[in-house]
Structure 1
Amino acid sequence: MPEGVTLLTGAGGFIGAHLVRRLLDESGPNDAARGDGGRVHVIVRPSTELGRLSPFAERLTIHRIDLADRLEIQRCIRALRPRRVFHLAAETRLPPHPDFSAARGAGAIYLQPALNLLEPLAELAEPPEAVVRAGTIAEYGHAPLPYREQDRAVPSTPYGAGMLATTEAIAMLAPRLPFPVVTARLALCYGPGQAASFLIPALIQACIDRQPMVIRRPADRRDLLHVDDAVDALLHIARLAAKTSNDSARKLDCVNVCTGLAPTMDEVARRIEALTGCPEGFLARAALSDDGKAAAPATLLSSPDLAAERLGWRYRIDLDEGLARTVADEQLMCTKAG
């Protein structure tokens, strides 16, 4: 890890907490005792629950700041002078249906916080070596499959549109920034510690508890990425961007972080049933959508080619291994709770 402070936003989230753990592993167990609060600093909203960070909260410095507070963010950045920054803060659970209200709110939710972070970083006498931002496969929407970075994205949800608007605004500002900003468009991540409101942890919990559950869209296909691979990619991008000249790094302002595979949710369910000892078909599969019509399968699938060619990065944890790890972790948590 480079000397100086590493700053992370969104640390209280699923991916953010896993990244914090890895950053602290890089820092070493005695880093927080150096007298300056340690090298790993995180920004979380004042209302953020810190349950995911509690196992290692004493080893990092937590700043409770709303990214909408431009002046407070500016003061924080000027005091810390971070050497590298990971921007993961983003609201992921917006209503999926597009409307004017959601479109108006996207700027305040996604774009303004990113600008509030980047502007004071650009004003530092010694700016950071690199900023890595977590983007999303949802930015592509109705773009041709598999999603490729050079293709025009056609977002279909307020979340995807807001994140894409931020990606494009950063690309517009790139020539004015004294550091590279790379957006990692993450596939759908899963793994230990994910909220039960997401599909994979919900399926695992239902099987462990032997509680009935219906998979609403079993034929949908999703590019699924284990959280450890996502964290590896974010760290890898930061290292490469810091070693690369600005002109070269800016040529890669956005890159897919994905597997390039898209199993159906039915296939995922069958794997989880087997891992938890449930009979095949324990999880019910819906044949119709909520409105009583046959649900047309939807696919989210990104191409991993650019990451392999330009970054030398590929995922390492296949779906069988990733689900096995996640199920084992959840079973262990249930055992401890019992």
Structure 2
Amino acid sequence: MQRALVTGGSGFVGASLVRRLLSLGWQVDLLLRPGFATWRVPAEQPRLSMHVIDLTDASAVEALLHRLRPRHVFHLAAHGAYSWQTDAARIAKTNLEATRTLALASLKANVEAFVHTGTSLEYGRKRHAPSEDEPAEPEGAYAISKAAATAFCRDLARRSGMRIPTLRLYSVYGPWEEPRRLVPSLLLHAMVGKWPPLANPKTARDFVWVEDVIDALIIAASRPLADPGAIFNIGTGRQTTLGEIVALVHGVTGCEAEPHWQSMPDRGWDTDIWQAETRHAATVLGWTAQTTLRTGLQRTIEWLQEDRERLDLYQGSLNLTDAQPR
């Protein structure tokens, strides 16, 4: 039985990864921060163990990994990706210090692969789809801390030989995403016949389905790499504007309300060009995104509707519980 350790397993992508690994028969150990949110964490399962720990406590982390002896570590714990997460000290501690501590402990525990998740924000503003060998030009505490963590992982991999690939994720969406994020907010509002406040319709993102991202994470953990510190862009290679995704949501929900563009002010990170260059992931990992945005949106709606309690939780997060579906 394969054994994997996952950080960030109470978050969106991490919770999805945990469910996939369990479905494959893996033994999964979750490393969780004190006071972690419980709503995404799977109910009690025989192959799932949870460990509450401070990831910056080097001695505690080393002792736990020495005891667990995982084959793979998937490091998804992060802070600062959401607009309301602004504490610069916590961002640095979570994204850089914890990454350093966990990676070094993984090396001592003879972990086969340490899969680090980065972000497309590490590139900064580009007027093209950046390749992995371009210099990082991050802006803001979150992007800077993630770029620094990627640099540390890359250096440690090349010095030690341990496989530490970094997957720079683009705009992941799908089941278990934070309700206030764009895709669930659009879907939940449209399902009751209205739209949330909207920014400039030309704002662009590369939206990638969460299960395609999980495929990439698992492949990166198991695939031999000529460069043990390789970086991979994980996106579709196609950008979608806000105007285009609203039109797609209209198509799958039938929402007839009129969008009110610029009812939300432009944000500092908004841009009209944002897409992944995916040739390196395709060549080295044999991975490409398989799910169209329309298909992913439809699957997300079906997931929301299949559980009334879950739908109520999501609608309640956006104060939509009293709205009547149309």
The bucket for the TM-score relative to the shorter chain is: 0.7 to 0.9
Equivalent residue for 1:331?
A: 305
Contact 1:106 1:159 in 2 (8 A): yes
Contact 1:5 1:83 in 2 (8 A): yes
Contact 2:79 2:85 in 1 (8 A): no
Equivalent residue for 1:25?
A: 23
Equivalent residue for 2:107?
A: 122
The 1:325–1:134 alpha-carbon spacing in structure 2 relative to 1, beyond 3 Å, is: same
Q: Deviations over 1:267-319 (max 9, x none)?
A: 1011112211212x53322278369xxx9843221101111112211110011
Equivalent residue for 2:175?
A: 192
Q: Deviations over 1:85-130 (max 9, x none)?
A: 11111113465899xx83x665323111011101122123xx1111
Equivalent residue for 1:135?
A: 118
Per the TM alignment, residue 13 of structure 1 is displaced from its structure 2 partner at its CA by 0.5
- Larger mean CA deviation between 319-328 and 281-290 belongs to 281-290
Give the count of matched residue pairs. Answer: 311
Task: Write the letter of the residue equivalent to 1:24.
Answer: L
Are 2:75 and 1:90 aligned? no
Are 2:245 and 1:268 aligned? yes
Are 2:24 and 1:50 aligned? no
Mapped to 2, the partners of 1:233 and 1:290 lie a distance apart of 32
SS in 1 for 2:40: helix
SS in 2 for 1:131: strand
Task: Write the letter of the residue equivalent to 1:231.
Answer: I
Mapped to 1, the partners of 2:309 and 2:20 lie a distance apart of 26
* Equivalent in 205, 208, 214 of residue 188 of structure 2: 205
Question: 1:1-338 maps to which residues of 2 (within 5 A)?
Answer: 3-27=1-25, 39-55=27-43, 57-93=45-81, 102=88, 106-124=91-109, 127-241=110-224, 244=225, 248-250=226-228, 253-279=230-256, 282-286=258-262, 289=265, 297-334=271-308
Contact 1:133 1:183 in 2 (8 A): yes
Mapped to 2, the partners of 1:237 and 1:132 lie a distance apart of 7
Contact 1:256 1:303 in 2 (8 A): yes
The 1:301–1:336 alpha-carbon spacing in structure 2 relative to 1, beyond 3 Å, is: closer
SS in 1 for 2:117: strand
Contact 2:304 2:311 in 1 (8 A): no
Mapped to 2, the partners of 1:55 and 1:163 lie a distance apart of 31
Task: Write the letter of the residue equivalent to 1:111.
Answer: L
- Larger mean CA deviation between 4-13 and 139-148 belongs to 139-148
SS in 2 for 1:284: coil
Equivalent residue for 1:31?
A: none
Mapped to 1, the partners of 2:207 and 2:192 lie a distance apart of 24
Per the TM alignment, residue 216 of structure 1 is displaced from its structure 2 partner at its CA by 1.5
The 1:27–1:289 alpha-carbon spacing in structure 2 relative to 1, beyond 3 Å, is: same
SS in 2 for 1:67: coil
Task: Write the letter of the residue equivalent to 2:63.
Answer: R
The 1:55–1:83 alpha-carbon spacing in structure 2 relative to 1, beyond 3 Å, is: same
Per the TM alignment, residue 218 of structure 1 is displaced from its structure 2 partner at its CA by 1.8
The 1:17–1:106 alpha-carbon spacing in structure 2 relative to 1, beyond 3 Å, is: closer
Task: Write the letter of the residue equivalent to 1:214.
Answer: P
- For structure 1, which runs of at least 5 residues remain unmatched after alignment? 29-38
- For structure 2, which runs of at least 5 residues remain unmatched after alignment? 313-326
Mapped to 2, the partners of 1:121 and 1:178 lie a distance apart of 12
Q: Deviations over 1:200-254 (max 9, x none)?
A: 101111111234422113211100000000000101111103xx5xxx242x521
TM-score, structure 2 as length reference: 0.87
Mapped to 1, the partners of 2:172 and 2:85 lie a distance apart of 22
- Larger mean CA deviation between 222-231 and 172-181 belongs to 172-181
- Larger mean CA deviation between 210-219 and 200-209 belongs to 210-219
Query: Alignment identity in percent?
Result: 30
Mapped to 1, the partners of 2:304 and 2:101 lie a distance apart of 37
RMSD (Å), alpha carbons: 2.5
Contact 2:126 2:273 in 1 (8 A): no
Mapped to 2, the partners of 1:41 and 1:307 lie a distance apart of 27
Mapped to 2, the partners of 1:271 and 1:143 lie a distance apart of 26
Per the TM alignment, residue 257 of structure 1 is displaced from its structure 2 partner at its CA by 0.9
Mapped to 1, the partners of 2:79 and 2:85 lie a distance apart of 15
Task: Write the letter of the residue equivalent to 1:263.
Answer: T
Contact 1:97 1:157 in 2 (8 A): no
